[in-house]
Amino acid sequence: MKKILLSALMLVAGMSTMSAAEEVLDFTKMGYENGTAVTEITQGAVTLTFTDGGNSNAPKYYTSGTSVRMYGDNTMTVAVPIGSTLKNVSFVLADKATTDWVLADASFYPVEPGTLTIDGTTGATWTGNAAEFTLTVKNEKWGGPGKTGNAQFRVVSMTVTYDEGEVTQCSAPKFSLEEGAYYSAQSVALTCNTDGATIMYKLNGAEETAYTAPIELKEVGKYTIEAYAKKDGIDNSETVTATYEIKAPVEVSSIAEFIMSGEAEPAGTAFKWNFPVTVTAVMPSYTYVVDGEGSPMLIYGNQIPTYTKGDVIPAGIVGNFKNYNNLYEMEYPVADTFGEATPGSYDYVTMKSGEITTSDINKVIYISNATYTEGESTKTLDDGSGAINVYYQKAWEVDGPTSGEKCDVLCAVAVYKETLQVYPMQFLPAGAGVDGVVANASVVRTIDGAIEIVSEGASVVYNAAGQVVATANGTATVNVPAGFYLVRTADNVVKVLVK
């Protein structure tokens, strides 16, 4: 009986040595630059690790709402040192009512281990009993009450509650980069959430080295990193391993070869254009080009340097091939592979609406004296030769004419599945002619934290209150805080949202 009582007392005494701790991670006070990709955050004994999960969009910090925004396939791992135990994590999320995003039900955010509960529209809670857990955002559309779209998870702040146990072993190091193949040089950071631990690593079996700076993987080849953490007085961590490969992009000599190779190579393959291209038009996230053979292509991405019509971009652009419902494009190109352009010229192609075929996809064309018609489900242009469908790219903010009105239009030829269509870039009065577009070619687009203006004249930027916040002359990048702005150029007035 005495032994049983003594054991019970010892158990109670052991439990009393474990103390509850709390860490509040407030992203509104962390001072990251807008649009910063987030890989790891450590505060106190808590470590957050983020991955893109294979999505082209990595988790990022945004000053608009001041949150970390996670997309489909993105993951977040919350961890405390070995010996400590996570009990509860309370998330404060961005306000669903005032942001253009979708907070789905908890099934769209699987956690392992533990349980996640969605608390209304601006909160979520994880409960469990583990040293770490991982939350994943499913890459699926949600059609629940309110909004319909791909699920996102935007964390403004989080309160982490955990039991502080006796730390007897170092936590294993974590790698900042996901394992896999890459087509450009990469940097791998190693971290450990055991305070004061030293990380030891081997690269491709070489001599063991103390980690002091990110490991640079620059040359084409395969790399294996083995790492563990150690600290006096406690056991070494387990050894963890990550394998990477730096691959050379597939080199192509023309857009035709790019399309042919793109269809043949596996998804995710990077290609290098060993030929220059001429810019035919620039719109938000869309840069249209042609090669020396006159073959057109769309380059999709918002990290492309600012070019103007006629600019010749030198050989060397690297990016992925995408067949988007029969529309070919280069997507997510590597920004630093774009060279300085040489000024040149390009004449728009004038075409009849009824003569457009699939061979014209990605051409920038000019259609004259066409009747614009809006039906219940379609919009069309018809210059008497036949009708072509019209599809508006929302981000381009192009205003169309009144249904039944005649007009000229500068547009890009596109296709969705088997249906040909055009993306309007600019509507002009009927019979205005191509020269009107060339003389008045101004483009306004946004990137993270800035407005890019491509114009031959003066431009004025106004905030939502109508105050002048910046002026520019010619092509310029205007850095501004997140919000709505009005940009007036010599030939255009555009309302933009900077995130």
Neighbour order of strands in the sheet with 493-498: 468-473, 458-463, 483-488, 493-498
Which pTM does this prediction carry?
Answer: 0.62
Cα–Cα distance measured from residue 335 to residue 250, given in angstroms and rounded to the nearest whole number: 17
Fold entry, domain 250-337: OB fold (Dihydrolipoamide Acetyltransferase, E2P) (2.40.50)
Residue 422: closest CA among 479, 324, 351, 483: 351
**Of the ranges 444-448, 485-489, 494-498, the best mean pLDDT one:** 485-489
What's the pLDDT at 30? 86
Fold entry, domain 349-438: OB fold (Dihydrolipoamide Acetyltransferase, E2P) (2.40.50)
In the chain, where are the structural domains located? 18-164, 174-246, 250-337, 349-438, 442-498
Q: From start to end of 27-84, where are the E strands?
A: 36-37, 40-43, 46-51, 60-62, 67-70, 75-79
pLDDT tens-digit series, residues 118-157:
988 889 999 999 999 999 999 988 887 767 788 899 999 9
Residue 4 in this model has a pLDDT that exceeds 50? no
Query: What is the arithmetic mean of pLDDT over 477-493?
Result: 76
CB 410 within 8 A of CB 426: yes
Query: What is the arithmetic mean of pLDDT over 289-308?
Result: 91
Architecture of the 18-164 domain = Sandwich (2.60)
Dihedral of CA 184/304/258/277: which sign?
negative
414 Cβ neighbours under 8 A, 6+ residues apart: 327, 361, 362, 391, 420, 421, 422, 423
Q: Distance of CA 231 to CAs 49, 145, 170, 428, 464, Å?
A: 22, 51, 7, 71, 55
Asked, colleague to colleague, whether 18-164 and 349-438 share their fold, the answer is no
pLDDT tens-digit series, residues 63-84:
766 889 998 899 999 999 888 9
CATH superfamily of this structure's domain 174-246: Immunoglobulins (2.60.40.10)
Cα-based torsion angle of the residue sequence 388, 394, 397, 403 in order, rounded to the nearest 10 degrees: 40
Q: Distance of CA 196 to CAs 132, 170, 233, Å?
A: 19, 10, 11
Amino acid identity at 113:
P
What's the pLDDT at 351? 96
Cα–Cα distance measured from residue 212 to residue 197, given in angstroms and rounded to the nearest whole number: 12
CB 225 within 8 A of CB 241: yes
What is the residue whose two structure tokens read 């053979």? 293
CB 69 within 8 A of CB 58: no
pLDDT tens-digit series, residues 31-47:
887 778 888 898 988 99
Cα–Cα distance measured from residue 223 to residue 174, given in angstroms and rounded to the nearest whole number: 16
Residue 7 in this model has a pLDDT that exceeds 60? no
Whole-number average pLDDT of the chain:
87
Query: What is the arithmetic mean of pLDDT over 89-94?
Result: 94
Tokens of residue 444, six digits: 């306004």
349 Cβ neighbours under 8 A, 6+ residues apart: 363, 364, 365, 366
Lowest-pLDDT choice from 8-22, 39-53, 170-184, 240-254: 8-22
Tokens of residue 441, six digits: 């070619």
Three-state SS at 51: strand
Q: How many whole angstroms from its chain centre is CA 348? A: 31
150 Cβ neighbours under 8 A, 6+ residues apart: 71, 72, 102, 139, 140, 141, 142
Report residue 372's pLDDT band, with 50, 70 and 90 as the boundaries.
very high
pLDDT tens-digit series, residues 385-443:
999 999 999 888 888 899 999 999 999 999 998 899 999 999 988 888 776 564 344 56
pLDDT tens-digit series, residues 231-262:
999 999 999 999 999 999 999 999 999 999 99
What's the pLDDT at 490? 61
